[in-house]
Structure 1
Amino acid sequence: MTKQFKLGLIINPVAGLGGSVGLKGSDNVTEEALALGAEPKSHKRTQAALEVLLPYKEQIQIFTPSGKMGQTLAEEMGFSTEVVLTVGENTSPADTELTVKTLIEQGVDLILFAGGDGTARNVCSAVSDNTTVLGIPAGCKIHSGVYAITPKAAGRVVEMLINGELVTLSDADVMDIDESAFREGVVKAKRYGEMQVPSELRYVQAVKSGGKETDELVLADLSAYVVSEMEDDEYYVMGSGSTVAAIMDEMGLENTLLGVDVVLDQDVIAADCTAQQLIDLTKGKPTKIVITLIGGQGHIFGRGNQQLSPELIRQVGKENIIVVATKRKLQALNGRPLICDTGDSVLDDELSGFIKVVTGYNDHVMYAVGLEEEK
């Protein structure tokens, strides 16, 4: 007889509740969100994941809390279900944490949980090092690498495990932002730990892989990291391009897509600046330049950001240049170096060599910077 797969299931009933009504999260705003007409989404998203597993019902035993934290849905869908914890109508993070501990005691093969970054933090605070988990994305904020790309993708990963397919396990970051600050337009993302996840790259949010299917998620994590590293009282010259625009969007700021803006304390203090304005504004001030690849040839200076003049670059210093790009964009260069074409050949030569490129959350690669290719 085939051994049953012991699946731990946790649903955060209020995950994502604030997103549709513009509250930018669900932390501490449940009543307000419901009053504004928000509808819980975690139930449906969990259902989408479990539907993938319906052909395997006879092989699965679900261990879960009572009611809307898992029991109701699992039983409605016909799964063999065991309640491990009785919870009240108004659930709390403490219920999630206690459930995780109970599921570990039950020896489940995998803990599948539905929620957002706040839920991931709750699970992380109670999980053990050798426990495998996987998140069903159901929250407003999904910066953590412990989530599947979609609810169905989460089901696919569990299906692979049930079928005995080889699935690599790896540690993934748990991250979150301060929702209260976010509602005031300030983004501060922090890393809260890591959890062991099945890292099947087709289905799991591999924020460091740069794969085609995860570009949007990679960009979100890259942006969250750059914003989390921003210092108070420091000027940030934000260059052109969609990757830099994503960082501006992460801060909730208007962006000049084809221009250059200046940010101080996560606020735009000058938009669409000229080269001279940038020099005058940042002279004698702690400043960093944030740039990305412009065009298919890999230009970081001299294409679409001519406002970043040689004088400004020298004033800021090479050590204060932050280059951001997804690994997919770098791979598209097929090994060609990044290009500097500032109009100052001496400066172009000084900028050549290797530079650190931010490719994800606390994820970097070293990449060559060379002179413009010979024609």
Structure 2
Amino acid sequence: MTRIGLVVNPVAGLGGRVGLGGTDGPDRPRVALSLGARPQAGARAAAALGELAARAGGPARDGLLVVTAAGPLGADSVAAAGLADRIVYAAAAGRDTTAADTAAAVRAVVAEDVGLLLFAGGDGTARDVLGALGNVHCPVLGVPTGVKMHSAVFAVGPRAAGEVAAAWLGRTGGVRLRDAEVMDRDEDALAEGRVTSRLHGWLPVPDVPVRVQQRKTGSTTVSPEAVGGIAAEVAERVGEGLLVLGPGSTTRAVAAALGADVSLTGVDALALRPGHPPRVVARDAREDTLLALGPAWLALSPIGGQGFLLGRGNQQISPRVLRAAGGREHLLVLCTEAKLAALGGRPLLLDTGDDALDAELSGHLPVITGRRRTSLYRLAM
């Protein structure tokens, strides 16, 4: 039988839609749940396994065995995907799972000689996997279920993870391993107003460039001329109305050029009116706050190096919010020409968690790069 490992961090990503950022820390998951967060890691892991099973097909599917941990740490996702499992670890009953459970599950799973370890989580989970493996060499691939995911060890989406896993296990297309960076947000830099990441190590990942994401690159200084031009274009397009700004240094600089102070890592909303200073109507907004705003313009900037437009660090802008705001027609993509060129032609990426919406948003869209300046660029899922 073909053995594949799976470890799920069941609380990964809980903080996204409720505006908490990550869920690292003992109390954060409970706070997120109290704010109405709904677990999604297990379902996204199941989607990855479902894609793997579909691509394996027939006898190959019947020969798949998923080595995993009990309950929400993996077995629930395996059952949802309809695959056979072998449970090699169970967390103690009556308590929440912790990073120690992730590490123990990883060690137990890789001891079973799996051909690939899939883990579902974010950057914090990637660090736990890195620490648990130590000197053990095992191919690894992350199913993106966290909030930020600056690391280069994740597939671009759950189904992409299943696609890459199938290619690796089937040895199709000459897939090889590469050492991919495990990154996490640099909190010291964030305190100084910069969004950048710190390197923690490397993990061996199947090298499928289009389906495995790049690491996030640090924010760079944006020229006042470029920012001013983008801001003027945004103001003209919005006119009198609501403008929701996603996180990032570019959108923050554009807001400052408009005359507003917004957060660096949160989602904020401005009321714009020609000839008047902008008014902040929501700061560090949650999904429910954005839904209450109704139709609005959504100003987003892709993550440097990765190219993600939706699904990384801005989960508050959920599928429901996107539809309520007006969909594709109300999407303003903001990016300097230098940042766009650094992507090397790779598309801007979508991972909203709603495949139908991602397909609807995909295709070419004008990217605002300055005053009266746009570049037609491809969005893909």
Instruction: Indicate the TM-score class for this superposition, using the shorter chain for normalisation.
Output: 0.5 to 0.7
In the TM superposition, residue 139 of structure 1 has moved relative to its aligned partner by 0.6
User: Which secondary structure state, in structure 1, belongs to the residue aligned with residue 252 of structure 2?
Assistant: coil
2:3 maps to 6
1:66-117 CA distances to partner (integer Å, 9 max, x unpaired)?
1110112213433121111111351111111112222222111110011111
2:377 maps to none
Q: Does 1:113 align with 2:119?
A: yes
Q: Does 1:168 align with 2:176?
A: yes
2:14 maps to 17
Preserved CA contact (<8 Å) 1:25 1:179 = no
- 1:262-277 paired onto structure 2 within 5 Å: none
2:153 maps to 146
User: Which secondary structure state, in structure 2, belongs to the residue aligned with residue 31 of structure 1?
Assistant: helix
Alignment partners' CA distance in 2, 1:257 and 1:203: 33
2:138 maps to 131
In the TM superposition, residue 181 of structure 1 has moved relative to its aligned partner by 8.6
1:345 maps to none
- 1:328-367 paired onto structure 2 within 5 Å: 328-329=343-344
Q: Which one of the candidate residues 157, 162, 169 is aligned to 2:164?
A: 157
- The runs of 5 or more residues in structure 1 that have no matched partner are 208-220, 231-235, 268-291, 293-322, 332-375
Q: Which one of the candidate residues 226, 251, 254 is aligned to 2:252?
A: 254
Letter in 1 for 2:199: R
User: Which secondary structure state, in structure 2, belongs to the residue aligned with residue 106 of structure 1?
Assistant: coil
In the TM superposition, residue 10 of structure 1 has moved relative to its aligned partner by 0.5
1:204 maps to 212
1:69 maps to 73
Change (3 A) 1:196 1:86: same
Alignment partners' CA distance in 1, 2:45 and 2:67: 14
Letter in 1 for 2:4: L
Letter in 2 for 1:95: D
Change (3 A) 1:74 1:179: farther
Change (3 A) 1:182 1:19: farther
**TM-score, length-scaled by structure 2:** 0.57
Alignment partners' CA distance in 2, 1:126 and 1:112: 14
Alignment partners' CA distance in 1, 2:344 and 2:22: 31
Q: Does 1:78 align with 2:82?
A: yes
In the TM superposition, residue 180 of structure 1 has moved relative to its aligned partner by 10
Greater C-alpha radius of gyration: 1
Preserved CA contact (<8 Å) 1:241 1:257 = no
Alignment partners' CA distance in 1, 2:76 and 2:191: 33
Preserved CA contact (<8 Å) 1:116 1:140 = yes
User: Which secondary structure state, in structure 2, belongs to the residue aligned with residue 57 of structure 1?
Assistant: helix
1:225-263 CA distances to partner (integer Å, 9 max, x unpaired)?
247xx9xxxxx8656259x99xx94359721389699x9
- The runs of 5 or more residues in structure 2 that have no matched partner are 232-245, 266-303, 305-337, 347-381
Q: CA RMSD in A?
A: 4.0
Change (3 A) 1:172 1:106: same
Letter in 2 for 1:22: G
Alignment partners' CA distance in 2, 1:330 and 1:66: 42
Letter in 2 for 1:135: G
Change (3 A) 1:81 1:255: same
User: Which secondary structure state, in structure 2, belongs to the residue aligned with residue 122 of structure 1?
Assistant: helix
Change (3 A) 1:80 1:116: same
Q: Does 1:36 align with 2:40?
A: no
Q: Does 1:94 align with 2:100?
A: yes
In the TM superposition, residue 158 of structure 1 has moved relative to its aligned partner by 1.2
2:301 maps to none
Alignment partners' CA distance in 2, 1:119 and 1:239: 40
Letter in 2 for 1:199: D
Change (3 A) 1:50 1:237: same
1:161-195 CA distances to partner (integer Å, 9 max, x unpaired)?
23231212101111111579969976452111110
The answer to which structure, 1 or 2, has the higher relative contact order (CA under 8 A, 6+ apart) is: 2
Preserved CA contact (<8 Å) 1:11 1:42 = yes
User: Which secondary structure state, in structure 2, belongs to the residue aligned with residue 255 of structure 1?
Assistant: helix
Change (3 A) 1:241 1:133: farther
2:364 maps to none
In the TM superposition, residue 198 of structure 1 has moved relative to its aligned partner by 0.1
Alignment partners' CA distance in 1, 2:169 and 2:181: 25
In the TM superposition, residue 199 of structure 1 has moved relative to its aligned partner by 1.0
User: Which secondary structure state, in structure 1, belongs to the residue aligned with residue 226 of structure 2?
Assistant: coil
User: Which secondary structure state, in structure 1, belongs to the residue aligned with residue 155 of structure 2?
Assistant: coil
Alignment partners' CA distance in 2, 1:114 and 1:178: 22
User: Which secondary structure state, in structure 1, belongs to the residue aligned with residue 202 of structure 2?
Assistant: strand
Letter in 2 for 1:38: A
Alignment partners' CA distance in 1, 2:32 and 2:188: 14
In the TM superposition, residue 26 of structure 1 has moved relative to its aligned partner by 1.2
1:30-62 CA distances to partner (integer Å, 9 max, x unpaired)?
111000010011011111111112334312111
Change (3 A) 1:84 1:8: same
Alignment partners' CA distance in 1, 2:77 and 2:251: 40
Preserved CA contact (<8 Å) 1:50 1:155 = yes
Alignment partners' CA distance in 1, 2:200 and 2:152: 12
Alignment partners' CA distance in 1, 2:37 and 2:182: 26
1:51 maps to 50
Preserved CA contact (<8 Å) 2:151 2:214 = no
1:60 maps to 64
